[in-house]
Amino acid sequence: MKRMPPEAIQQVAAYFQVLAEPTRLRILNLLREHEYNVGELAQACGYTAANVSRHLSLMTKHGIVAREERGTSVYFRIADGQVDELCDLVCGNIASRMQAASAVHQAFKAML
How confident is the model over 44-90, as pLDDT tens digits? 999 999 999 999 999 999 999 999 999 999 999 999 888 888 878 88
Contact 64, 83 (CB under 8 A): yes
pLDDT > 90? residue 110: no
* pLDDT band for position 1 (cuts 50, 70, 90): low
Contact 107, 99 (CB under 8 A): no
Whole-prediction pTM: 0.80
**Share of residues in the chain with pLDDT > 90 (%):** 60
The residue ranges of DSSP E strands in the chain, in sequence order, are 36-37, 65-70, 73-78
* pLDDT band for position 22 (cuts 50, 70, 90): very high
Residue in 30, 36, 108 with CA at minimum distance from that of residue 76? 36
End-to-end CA distance of the chain: 46
